[in-house]
Amino acid sequence: MHIDTIAMITSPDLAWQEEALCAQTGADFFFPEPGSSVREAKRICGMCPIRSACLEYALDNDERFGVWGGLSEKERLELRRTSR
C-alpha cells in the first residue's frame, strides 16, 4: 500500500500538488480533529493559486475527509447534492 501512495504522489496528474499552499503548511489545518475549526485552512485555501484543481480532484475522487479546495467535508457533500 505504501508503494501505491508513493506512485500516486509522483503521478504527473497530481503535479499541481507541488504548488499547493497546503503542501507547504502541514496537514493539521486541513485535517482537523472533529469539532475543530477549519477557518485557518479555508484562509490558506483562499490564497492558493491551484484551489480549483484541488477542489476538482477532491470531488472526482470522493475525498470525504479534510478541507480540499477551500471546502469542508459538509460543503463538498452539499455541492455534490446540488449538482445532481
User: How many Å apart are CA 26 and CA 19, to the nearest integer?
Assistant: 14
pTM for the predicted model, two decimal places? 0.79
Q: Which of 55, 26, 19, 53 is nearest to 41 (CA)?
A: 26
Annotated binding residue 48:
yes
Can you give the pLDDT at residue 25? 87
Give residue-wise pLDDT tens across range 24-72.
888 888 999 888 899 999 999 999 999 999 999 999 999 999 999 999 9
Can you give the pLDDT at residue 39? 94
Annotated binding residue 54:
yes
- The answer on pLDDT for 4 being more than 80 is no
Annotated binding residue 76:
no
